Amino acid sequence: MTVHTLEDLLAEGVEGRHVLVRSDLNVPLADGAITDFGRVDASVPTIRALSEAGAKVVVAAHLGRPKGEAVPELSLAPVAEALSERLERYVALAGDVSGEDAHERANGLTEGDVLLLENVRYDARETAKDSAEREALAAELADLVPGGAFVSDGFGVVHRAQASVYDVAKTLPAYAGGLVRSELEVLRTVAETPEHPYAVVLGGSKVSDKLGVIEALAPKVDKLIIGGGMCFTFLAARGNAVGSSLLQEEMVDTCRDLLERFGDKIVLPVDVVAADAFAADANTTVAAADAIEDGWMGLDIGPESAREFARVLGEAKTVFWNGPMGVFEMAPFAEGTRAVAQAIIDATAGGAFSVVGGGDSAAAVRALGLAEDGFSHISTGGGASLEYLEGKALPGVEILDR
């Protein structure tokens, strides 16, 4: 695969030249304030490198799912402020995606300036199934950077064939940003040359969301640890009663098949923290995984499970983790995720190569106050990292190979 990189573009020279950067700035918000700056921080190095080299930088990004409407609550205004603080340079926010205000501001940029376009998903063409509609938006984005280049640096969106990710790369000279390159290098190591023992930890709510990666990785790993809400469908496949716990009944047979084929590798919880309601102030109890009573729901792995998971992780030389072990946002159900994360940190300190596969896992690391540098790599793209490990093509990466 031959992909031009940010380093190639900088070597060519960008002083006084417009450069369009697709970043992933899809941050969580609460009352208009950013609650996790991970994706902002990860996007800064590429933007800074271009700005310091004298480029006129135009950044495209999305936030949430406004479905083609200008939803004020999903404006990128808080992100522009956060970028300004981190770059120590004012980052203006355009009042639209590719309209009159965006053009006026882009035309007025001087060397080193940075402009953030408004939420690109305000324009329905960004995610349109009709390629002609996407290409029309891509052409408008390209018009904002006459004679310029495109840098793909939003790893969290490269698995989507969207206008600002895929189609614009057909319109402008395209380069892979530093973040995309580093993400791919790390995931390639995990997918192709992991050191054994190799342990994968999967959590989250639904088996169906992780089925592809389970099928792809199970033959390659030494241990596959299953936690989170998805574990209850596996437990049900074993014949366990799971009370009111989350259950995908349509996936029980699939899980039974997985257990038959990979049962020697799959590690399931032996106990859970169960509650009588989905609430932080609910009554809780620790129940054996095969003795969850009716009316009670498992919302975290239990202490015995945490110890067993930690033991397995302590023997690993490569660890990939995607998905929390419980409802970590509620304090009574956060300890399983904390214990697993700490076990991975300890394994890393002992020489293991560890990758946190983005999404809720990355958010949990920061929300629980754990040291980010305790892991070898924290991905910015949950869906993209899973699809890469499944062996699926990533349109936003493949289009760079031209």
39 is catalytic: yes
Kindly give the residue spans of alpha helices, DSSP state H, lying in 30-172: 38-52, 77-87, 100-107, 131-143, 168-171
383 is catalytic: yes
Q: What is the tens place of the pLDDT at every residue in 197-216?
A: 999 999 998 899 899 999 99
229 neighbors 207 (Cβ within 8 angstroms)? no
**329 is known to lie in a ligand binding site:** yes
Nearest C-alpha neighbor of 47 from the set 38, 36, 56: 56
**99 is known to lie in a ligand binding site:** no
233: phi then psi, degrees, rounded to nearest 5: -70, -35
**160 is known to lie in a ligand binding site:** yes
Kindly tell me if the per-residue pLDDT of 401 is higher than 60. Answer: yes
Strand segments, DSSP code E, in 120-236 are 149-152, 174-176, 198-202, 223-226
Kindly tell me if the per-residue pLDDT of 402 is higher than 70. Answer: no
**Mean pLDDT over the full length of the chain:** 96
pLDDT band at 352 (very low <50, low <70, confident <90, very high): very high
- The DSSP output letter for 249 is G
**259 is known to lie in a ligand binding site:** no
CATH number, span 194-390: 3.40.50.1260
Active-site hit among 359, 374, 381, 382: 359
Task: Name residue, tokens 């940010």.
Answer: 6
The β-bridge partners of 353 are: 318
Q: What is the tens place of the pLDDT at every residue in 163-178?
A: 999 999 999 999 999 9
**298 is known to lie in a ligand binding site:** yes
Can 6-181 and 194-390 be said to share one CATH topology? yes
Domain spans of the chain, in order of start: 6-181, 194-390
- Range 6-181 classified under CATH 3.40.50.2300: no
pLDDT at 1: 57
User: What's the rounded mean pLDDT across residues 113-135?
Assistant: 98
**210 is known to lie in a ligand binding site:** yes
pLDDT at 360: 85
Measured between alpha carbons, how far is 80 from 82 in angstroms, rounded to an integer?
5
Active-site hit among 86, 206, 238, 366: 206
Active-site hit among 17, 22, 38, 39: 39
| % of residues, the chain, pLDDT over 90 | 94
**25 is known to lie in a ligand binding site:** yes
357 is catalytic: no
295 is catalytic: no
pTM: 0.90
